[in-house]
Amino acid sequence: MTYKILVTGGAGYIGSHTTLALLEAGYEVVVLDNLCNSSPESLLRVARICGKAPLFIQGDIRDHALLDELFISQRISAVLHFAGLKSVGESVRKPLDYYDNNVAGSVTLCQAMAHAGVFNLVFSSSATVYGEPTQMPIREDFPTGVPTNPYGRSKLMVEDLLQDLAKSDPRWSIALLRYFNPVGAHQSGLIGEDPNGLPNNLLPYVSQVAIGKLKQLSVFGADYPTLDGTGVRDYIHVQDLADGHLSALRTILQKTGVNIWNLGTGIGYSVLEMIRAFEQASGRAVPYKLVERRPGDIAECWADPTKAANELDWKAKRGLPEMMADTWRWQAANPQGYGR
Ligand code: NAD
Ligand code: UDP
């Protein structure tokens, strides 16, 4: 039987890579995206890579009528829910937009799913829900923390509401995937991350410095209690992340309840290690200066990926050189991203 999967936010960075992986694995895919942070070009490129296209519906997850119509016209087996806003800084300036898109949007989506009798959901959560853990690596049974910004709080609120939902009705089968730091691009160089304006995240910033669009990187904090004083994170290749979604999907289709899985590599790298690895892969210099810590940042954060390995039969396979080479291939071939 061919499953048809609804991918919300499927034109975005992680959604487009996962849409590609789903199509390559033989799933039928419907993408719902309002294109507020993406371009339809990403899906044309997906079709170019794999020779198959998802059905694309331009629309908003907060649109009740559209969702009801979508679930009536398409026989959806499960939803991969990526749609949402993701900029920490913007969430501080525009909290209502974040609660509306991320929280109210998820409520509307779940209402439409329940109405249509679709109970399988994979939700894009984040390691940010752990707050500032005192111990590394981070396991799924660690308590969730106090996120320091509306974006983080919106992710935790959705996790909580999905837990309540599953308690209220045993038909729900929900995966909460807590991503660590997604980086990289498809090895073809055709799809990748295309941030709008000045990048917030480390690797898009580094690659725009390398290509000469930005002058130098500011390294936020060199006085953390880490190996070289700079922040340590668990960077995971977006292709590994996409594969993790397919494993989670296969698993939740066989069970019910809420399952939480970390998607990370289990290895932490510092900002300076990332700069060096990128310089090596690209052959370009990345000028940087050490500046003050960024408010709200934690010193270090990396996953214990054992639970996902045991329960999903999934492991991140790609190492730092591949993450860097693929990021650079995408950036060099698409200096203006998708040209939005
Ligand atoms: P992205 O911005 O590239 O993709 C999100 C997509 O959702 C975009 O295409 C956007 O147009 C769409 N969208 C936003 N609001 C919508 C709405 N109301 N209706 C329909 N479509 C809407 O971001 P991404 O990096 O691919 O992230 C995907 C998900 O993963 C997000 O929920 C994000 O919070 C989560 N996440 C991302 C990271 C990261 O570092 N990239 C880390 C942890 C969690
Ligand atoms: N960082 C940095 N300069 C930048 C962007 C990020 O030094 O321009 C650092 C940041 O302080 C953190 C790491 O790079 O230690 C990863 O940051 P990112 O924003 O990519 O992800 P986060 O883990 O904060 O969500």
Q: What is the pLDDT of residues 237-248, one digit of tens each?
A: 999 999 999 999
Pairwise CA distance, residues 287 & 99, whole Å? 37
* Percent of the chain's residues with pLDDT above 70: 100
Residue 2 has what pLDDT?
Answer: 87
Q: Is the CB of 82 under 6 A from ligand 1?
A: yes
Separation of 249 CA from ligand 1 center, angstroms?
Answer: 18
Q: Is the CB of 159 under 6 A from ligand 1?
A: no
What pTM was estimated for this model as a whole?
0.98
Residue 173 has what pLDDT?
Answer: 98
Q: In the predicted model, is pLDDT for residue 1 greater than 80?
A: no
Give the total number of structural domains in the chain: 1
* Percent of the chain's residues with pLDDT above 90: 97
Q: Is the CB of 34 under 6 A from ligand 1?
A: yes
Reported as a pLDDT band with limits 50, 70 and 90, residue 146 is: confident
Q: Is the CB of 15 under 6 A from ligand 1?
A: yes
Mutate to test the pocket of ligand 2, among 271, 290, 323 (most ligand atoms within 8 A of CB): 271
Does residue 152 belong to any structural domain of this protein?
yes
Does residue 274 belong to any structural domain of this protein?
no
Does residue 280 belong to any structural domain of this protein?
no
Q: Which domain holds residue 43?
A: 4-185+235-266+302-313
Does residue 328 belong to any structural domain of this protein?
no
Separation of 315 CA from ligand 2 center, angstroms?
Answer: 24
> Catalytic site residues?
151
What tens digit of pLDDT does each residue of 87-111 get? 999 999 999 999 999 999 999 999 9
Separation of 85 CA from ligand 1 center, angstroms?
Answer: 6
CATH number at residue 85: 3.40.50.720
Nearest CA, atom 1, ligand 2:
202
Q: In the predicted model, is pLDDT for residue 117 greater than 80?
A: yes
Q: In the predicted model, is pLDDT for residue 227 greater than 90?
A: yes
Does residue 336 belong to any structural domain of this protein?
no
Q: In the predicted model, is pLDDT for residue 340 greater than 80?
A: no
Q: Is the CB of 233 under 6 A from ligand 2?
A: yes
User: For 302-321, what is the mean pLDDT?
Assistant: 98
Does residue 116 belong to any structural domain of this protein?
yes
Separation of 12 CA from ligand 1 center, angstroms?
Answer: 6
Q: Is the CB of 205 under 6 A from ligand 2?
A: yes
Pairwise CA distance, residues 154 & 326, whole Å? 31
Q: In the predicted model, is pLDDT for residue 125 greater than 80?
A: yes
For the chain, the straight-line distance linking the first and the last C-alpha, in angstroms and rounded, comes to: 38
User: For 213-225, what is the mean pLDDT?
Assistant: 98
Nearest CA, atom 43, ligand 1:
126
Does residue 190 belong to any structural domain of this protein?
no
Mean pLDDT of the chain: 97
Does residue 324 belong to any structural domain of this protein?
no
Separation of 9 CA from ligand 1 center, angstroms?
Answer: 6
Q: In the predicted model, is pLDDT for residue 24 greater than 80?
A: yes
User: For 319-330, what is the mean pLDDT?
Assistant: 98
Question: What angle is formed at CA 14 by the lines to CA 11 and CA 19, rounded to 5 degrees?
Answer: 60
206 CA closest ligand 2 atom index: 8
Q: In the predicted model, is pLDDT for residue 60 greater than 80?
A: yes
